[in-house]
Structure 1
Amino acid sequence: MKRKPRTRPRRRRPSIGRRLFIFAVKLAVYACLLGAGVLTIYTLYVSEQVQERFAGRRWSIPSRVYSDTTLLYPGRPATAALLESTLKNLSYRPVQRMPDAPGEYRVRGSSIEISLRELTVPGRQRPAFPVRIQLAGGQIESIRDCLNEEPLHTLELEPEEVMLFFGPLREQRELIALGSMPPHLLHAVLAAEDRRFYEHAGIDPVGILRAALINLRHGGVRAGGSTITQQLAKCYFLTPERSFLRKFKELCIALSMELRYSKDEILEIYLNEIYLGQKGSVSISGIAEASKFYFGKRAEDLSVAEAATIAGLIRAPNRYSPYADAERSRERRNAVIAAMQENGWLSADDGRAAGEAPIETAGYTARPRIAAYFMDYVARQLHELYSADDLANLGLSIHTTIDAQVQRSAEQALERGLKRLEARFPQFKSPDPDKKLQGAIVVMQPRTGAILAMVGGRDYGESQFNRITQARRQPGSAFKPIVYLSALDRLTPATMLSNEPVTYNLHGRLWSPKNYDDKAPPQLLLRDALALSVNRAAVAAAMQTGLERIIACARSLGITSKLEPYPSMALGSFEIIPLELARAYCCFAADGMLPYPRALSLVTDEQGRILEQRHMEIKRAITPAKAFLISSLLQSVVSDGTARGLRAMGVTFPSAGKTGTTDDNRDAWYVGYTPDIVALVWVGFDDGRNVRSTGSGAALPIWAELMLAIPQHISGTWLAQPPGIIRFTICRRSGMPADSGACSETRVEYFLTENVPDQTCTMCRSTGAGNRIQNFMKG
């Protein structure tokens, strides 16, 4: 029997809808696999870039230029106003309570209580601690450590930051290790930006969902879903554009960072990278820099409230800045404090106290830049050691000799002095920077060569030409001390000099020196000739000494500018650089030791290791006896000569100096000094126009105002008489040792021991005998 074939049940073809669904699922699987592959490959590619970037230098840290430290000690001249000004310039914050955080101070009558910051200058380190400075009689009476009431013999305040070498991004940043940050600061940042940071792998779906719900509830953007890792990826590697591709890159970079680096490493980089505000054209980046900018503190010293304030800035630094809107900043801070409490990072009591604390900022104000000309002078020296890129990126600490308080006083004294001249001569005022009345000041320590202040012109913004280091001007009578110094081997302060008119033949050309006025007698003593700045007498002394000898003396004092052996050289007719002249006067004030001008002290790297150190350089140029003698002569300029107006200006401490005025009043000078300080002032026009005033009328008042503004640098002492000097009572009429029975006009004079006169006055003796004979004949 034939078997009947079995028939298979016919399979029903899936419907079109089912077929489409299956195709879509397969496509989705393939797409996911492909996407995962692309994501993996791109993440691995990005991971190499991340590692390469993080393995190298992560940030451009601008090098910082600092002033010198401020040394305080019992007996130093000081006032409460002066000390408070210094503290404010160091960004210390005044408080009404007892200062308890570094960077705070309180003035109470004649005492100042200061919570000092740490001093980190190599070789001069000290910890942060509280001190009390007691003032009395215009000086510091005592300094005490508030912790144990022990007296302190000296105290150094930290240096002032006066300049930064920026790169093109102009970011101001100071690095800090995660381990140096207080726990409440880390908790504040995590509470504000990424509570689950230590739980997710760089991308936090829970956080994204939570942020979305909060934003829906409030009908606007109140919370963000980006993790700290994503934020770091965005600000460190990507541009600010908003696109799907940029978001994709952000996710890949975040994942690669989480694979290669620990959470602590990522958080440390983030806290040093984030943008936290703006200071003029400069970006404030990183927690450490923000702590200084907003609160004048190190990040380690921030309170809970201050840490929450800074953490609250991260989302929108300029919107929540306490400098922009204190109330909005307070609200944002309290929201961060509440989040810290929610996460168990802050107790209710501590949270309540932090929320009620006022926001006391460091009080940022855009202070004008100081010492711009000096910074150019320093920069030229630095560029011999480091490239511009190194200075902008390596975070060097550059310590200089500048005294910020002296610098500010010099800038103010110069500007006020020039305005006084413009008030007397309105025609001097000009909108053209090239035609403005100009001036310059340099202040130096004579025994070390340290430059304490340098003002190279009236306005650095209008003219960067430094008239202290780059200008060549005739010094006029300010050169005469060098003439008389070179004459001391042959002449004495009591040598009689001729003030008679005389004509010199200079290679066929006739030249006759002229005096500023005709008040001086035909013959006068060398001391009086210098005090009264008598030109004819100066030329007479120069010709007796020898012009080549004068040039050699100038060279020994560090003057390298061109000088030629013409009689007019005695009147300062050859141009020199003002800094050269100031250096020469340092030798007079420093017992004959010539210092090298010093601006740089120390350069250290980010870790505080010394890279460069500049010690003072000095050499013996003249004997102590000659230095003392020329200083004695220049004291007469102040007591009886062209600078005698200083006393009426309030300068009562011992000083010496010389005015200078050139032909047609093109330059006005005063170079004055004490054993502690030398200051040179120049006034003139760049194009050589007449300033219609002398050194005593234009430069001297500026010098006086500057000196009165820096009493801490004026000890009030004078140079001690060295060996090699002897004193005699001389006759003022003849200059010879006085005859006690005949000379009626006498004074005490100094002589070098090798130049002691050996004959008493014959002029008064013969005049006295003649008078007695005449009286006898009349009688």
Structure 2
Amino acid sequence: PERTLSRKINEAILSVIIEAIYEKDDILEIYLNEIYLGQKGSVSINGVGEASSFYFDKPVKKLTLPEAATIAGLIKGPNHYSPYVDKSRCKDRRNMVLKAMNRKGWLTDNQLKAALSAKVEPAGFKLQGNKAPYFIDYLSRQIETLYPTEVLNSLGLSIHTTLDMQVQTAAELALEKGLARLEKSNPALRREKVEEKLQGAIIVMQPKTGYILAMVGGRDYKASQFNRITQSRRQPGSAFKPLVYLTGLEEFTPASRLSNDPKTYMINGKTWEPKNFLPSDEFNVSMREALAKSYNLATVDLAMKIGLEKIVNTTTGFHFSTPVKPYPSLALGAFEVIPLELARAYCVFAADGMQSYPLSLKDVTDENGNLLKQKHMNIERLTSSSKAFIMSSMLRSVATEGTAMSLINRGISWPVSCKTGTTNDFRDAWFVGFTPDILALVWVGFDNGDSIFTTGSAAALPIWADLMNTIPQYVSENWYKMPAGVVQATVCSESGLSAHKGCPDPEKEIFLKEKDPTVFCPIHKKPGLLDKIFNLIGKDTNDSKT
């Protein structure tokens, strides 16, 4: 709470009233029964009774002197001095309490000596087998945001969540199997210490409503309650590129040509030479192909053409809370994001340009079944339905002709828009895929940033595919209907402009209505009158021979 003069005055008045009503021993008892003394997952430890059980698995009356001093030492910073966090720091704090007791004459020198020599030995705690623990943690925080405290203090409340336990179970199993598969295929990924093991996270959402169907914030909640979906900050790598291409639709089209040639850029007086992940002999590519095959050089070329400040503005408008700077490396996702915010950004493409709020609960009712009023969370339009449709189409090409072509070999035969992501030195592997009905994001990596020696398509994509194959109720052949603001035209595959009969390889492409190509391809010779006559003569000659 904010420290204000009025608050201090109110606290002073309250303390006077309490002292007038209760004896000092009663006040101390109330304090000791309510004081915050640590955290057990999403549940707070309040009072010395709970703390005694949590830390030493015994009632208060059976605590030894060193154990009692340990709990007393926690008051200043329960999670900082917790024996479950740092035994050495906890022991130093305990010893400080014991020495203070000795100075006050409450302990003899012999008692102090014996207590100081005692080891800090917490009982160890086992979290209850709560289902979807990371989701429950997120829910407990969100409900406090959406409902006033006085409402939540009411008895008999019923909380209706967005969680789908079948999806949650499928996500947990897919992550467990996927990480085990990676460790088996590459022994260098194995770690002995629990806190150093290979990690992963999954978020599954309904893009139009923002409902969170499943949330897996880590490999093992008992080992780590750190939620990598909501709390970690990781570089998205190529998973960020769709926001660059969305910004590019202001000036360009999916057929526009981009340079895939190596270039050198100057950043703060230093040279920067981006490279493609794999060598390519395609030096001039369309926007669609550049995104599908995740070409770094072409993406940076697009970013420099449209302006980095515009990409920053797009990113800020999509409600990323992490700082973004207008550096060329921004185009390649060289900044940190919170995975939940990245998933929310992709929901815009999947939801016709609208961005919903990530929700873990639908509503809360009182004991009489009356619906309680919650804080309203806005749904915003961040881009037009036409641009969202084009982006979904371009991201569908990632699966049909790009870095996620392996999906078909993993049983994903239905339409899906998606993007892979890999960061420098293989520190992070990403895969985000969606349909009109469901969106799922998968991240794999080490908490300390160690390399996982593989890509998003090899590490995260298989986990996503395993998950989707086990929830067929969310899979369908349905796809987006082309909005009125989008048109289809035939273009030359080499120039990206309107094709004529001289273009050897014409192809269909979609455009914003206002950017429908009207200029014909200048690369190939358009058949003239003589060409048409010769063609007709040749055709007649061939017909007579047959």
- Same fold, TM exceeding 0.5? yes
Aligned in 2, Cα 1:367/1:167: closer, same or farther, shift over 3 Å?
A: closer
Q: Find the residue that maps to 2:525 and give its secondary structure.
A: helix
**Would the alpha carbon gap of residues 536 and 382 (structure 1) be closer, same or farther in structure 2, given more than 3 Å must change?**
same
Pairing partner for 2:358 from 581, 587, 597: 597
Secondary structure class of the residue paired with 1:510: strand
Which among 753, 765, 769 is matched to residue 525 of structure 2? 765
8 Å CA contact 1:742–1:765 kept in 2: the answer is: yes
Counterparts of 2:387 and 2:163 in 1: how far apart (Å)? 30
Alignment of 1:720-739 (within 5 A): 720-739=481-500
SS of equivalent residue, structure 1 residue 683:
strand
- The match for 2:290 is 529
Q: Which residue in 2 is equivalent to 1:753?
A: 513
User: 436, 449, 454: which one pairs with 2:197?
Assistant: 436
For 2:491 and 2:130, locate their aligned partners in 1 and report how far apart those are by CA, in whole Å. 54
Larger Rg: 1
Counterpart among 371, 382, 390 of residue 610 in structure 1: 371
CA drift of 1:386 comes to 6.9
1:380 matched to which residue of 2?
141
Secondary structure at the aligned position of 1:765 is classed as: coil
Quick one: which of 353, 370, 384 aligns to 1:623? 384
* Cα deviation, residue 762, structure 1: 2.1
Structure 2 CA distance for aligned equivalents of residues 641 and 674 of structure 1: 17
Deviation at 1:381, TM superposition (A): 2.4
1:446 aligns with 2:207: yes
CA distance in 1, matches of 2:208, 2:368: 32
CA contact (8 A) 1:444 1:452 kept: yes
In 2, are the aligned partners of 1:737 and 1:760 still within 8 Å (CA)? yes
TM-score scaled by length of structure 1: 0.51
1:413/1:768 Cα in 2 relative to 1: closer, same or farther (>3 Å)?
Answer: farther
Cα drift, residue 600 of structure 1: 2.0
1:730 positional shift? 1.3
Are 2:476 and 1:703 aligned? no
Q: Aligned to 2:431, which of 648, 670, 675?
A: 670
Which of 655, 662, 666 does residue 416 from structure 2 map onto? 655
CA distance in 2, matches of 1:612, 1:434: 41
- Change in Cα spacing, 1:695 to 1:610, as seen in structure 2 (3 Å) is same
SS of the residue corresponding to residue 763 of structure 1 reads: coil
Deviations 1:629-687 (A, max 9, x none): 11111010010000111011000111101000000000000111000011100000000
Residue 122 of structure 2 is matched in structure 1 by none
Matches of 1:581 and 1:456 in 2, distance apart? 15
The correspondence of residues 253-272 of structure 1 with structure 2, limited to 5 A, is none
Structure 2 Cα separation of the partners of residues 404 and 167 of structure 1? 30
1:744 aligns with 2:498: no
TM-score relative to the length of structure 2: 0.71
Q: Which residue of 1 aligns with 2:230?
A: 469
Q: Partner letter of residue 638 of structure 1?
A: A
CA contact (8 A) 1:422 1:429 kept: yes
1:405 aligned to 2:405?
no
Amino acid corresponding to residue 483 of structure 2 in structure 1: P
Distance 1:386 1:433, change over 3 A: farther
Alpha-carbon distance change, 455 to 388 in structure 1, aligned in 2, over 3 angstroms: farther
**Among 313, 317, 324, the residue aligned to 1:563:** 324
Shift of the 603–165 alpha-carbon distance from structure 1 to 2, 3 Å rule, reads farther
Q: Percent identity?
A: 51
Alignment CA distance shift 1:395-1:728 (3 Å): same
Alignment equivalent of 1:573, drawn from 329, 334, 359: 334
Higher relative contact order (CA 8 A, sep 6+): 2
Distance 1:459 1:378 in 2: 18
Label 1:466 to 1:757 Cα distance change in 2 as closer, same or farther (>3 A): same
Query: In 2, are the aligned partners of 1:598 and 1:616 still within 8 Å (CA)?
Result: no
CA RMSD of aligned residues (A): 2.7
1:637 maps to which of 380, 398, 404: 398
Give the deviation of 1:737 after TM superposition: 1.6
Partner SS for 1:439: strand
Q: Distance in 2 between matches of 1:386 and 1:433?
A: 39
Uncovered stretches (5+) of structure 2, i.e. residues with no partner: 1-41, 51-126, 533-546
> Do the aligned partners of residues 492 and 639 (structure 1) sit closer, same or farther apart at CA in structure 2, a change above 3 Å counting?
same
Map 1:307-326 onto structure 2 (within 5 A).
Answer: none
SS in structure 2 of the partner of residue 601 of structure 1: strand
Distance in 1, Cα, partners of 2:206 & 2:190: 34
Q: What is the CA distance between 1:707 and its match in structure 2?
A: 0.9
Quick one: distance in 2 between partners of 1:402 and 1:165?
23
In structure 2, C-alpha distance between the alignment counterparts of 1:536 and 1:685, rounded to whole Å: 27
> Any residues of structure 2 matched to 1:73-472 within 5 Å, and which?
368-384=129-145, 385=147, 394-472=155-233
How many Å separate the matches in 1 of 2:377 and 2:477?
24
- For 1:718, the equivalent position in structure 2 comes to 479
Residues 625 and 724, structure 1, Cα contact 8 Å, conserved in 2 = yes
Deviating more after overlay: 612-621 vs 535-544:
612-621
State the SS of the aligned residue for 2:460. helix
Matched residue type, 2:516: V
1:38-80 superposed Cα distances (whole Å, 9 cap, x missing partner): xxxxxxxxxxxxxxxxxxxxxxxxxxxxxxxxxxxxxxxxxxx
User: Aligned equivalents of 2:492 and 2:442: distance in 1?
Assistant: 36
Cα distance change of structure 1 residues 538 and 405 upon mapping to structure 2, 3 Å threshold: same
Runs of 4+ in 1 over 2 A off after TM superposition: 163-170, 366-370, 381-391, 393-396, 604-617, 766-769
Please tell me whether the aligned partners of residues 448 and 616 of structure 1 are also in contact (alpha carbons under 8 angstroms). Answer: no
Query: In the TM superposition, what whole-angstrom CA distance separates every residue of 1:314-342 from its partner, at most 9, and x where no partner exists?
Result: xxxxxxxxxxxxxxxxxxxxxxxxxxxxx
Match of 1:123 in 2: none
Q: 3-state DSSP class of the match of 2:334?
A: coil
Please state if 1:538 is matched with 2:299: yes
CA distance in 2, matches of 1:709, 1:768: 58
Does the 8 Å CA contact 1:478/1:670 hold for their aligned counterparts?
yes
- 8 Å CA contact 1:448–1:617 kept in 2: the answer is no
CA contact (8 A) 1:731 1:745 kept: yes
**Partner residue of 2:256 out of 495, 507, 510:** 495
3-state SS of 2:330 partner: helix
Report what 1:554 is aligned to: 315
1:715, 1:566 → 2: CA distance? 40
Report the residue type matching 2:436 in the other structure: P
3-state SS of 2:276 partner:
coil
Q: What is the CA-CA distance between 1:510 and the residue it aligns to?
A: 0.8
Cα shift readout 1:550-590 (whole Å, capped 9, x = no counterpart) = 11111222222110000000000010101111011000011
Aligned residue number for residue 141 of structure 1: none
Counterpart CA distance in 2 for 1:416 and 1:604 is: 38
Identify if the C-alpha distance between structure 1 residues 390 and 724 changes in structure 2 by more than 3 Å, giving closer, same or farther: closer
Deviations, residues 593-619 of structure 1 (Å, cap 9, x unaligned): 111111122222333333344666311
Name structure 1 gaps, 5 residues minimum: 1-162, 171-365, 773-779
Distance 1:768 1:596, change over 3 A: farther
Secondary structure, aligned partner of 1:728:
strand
Structure 1 residue 750: deviation in Å? 0.5
Tell me what 1:146 maps to: none
SS in 1 for 2:481: coil
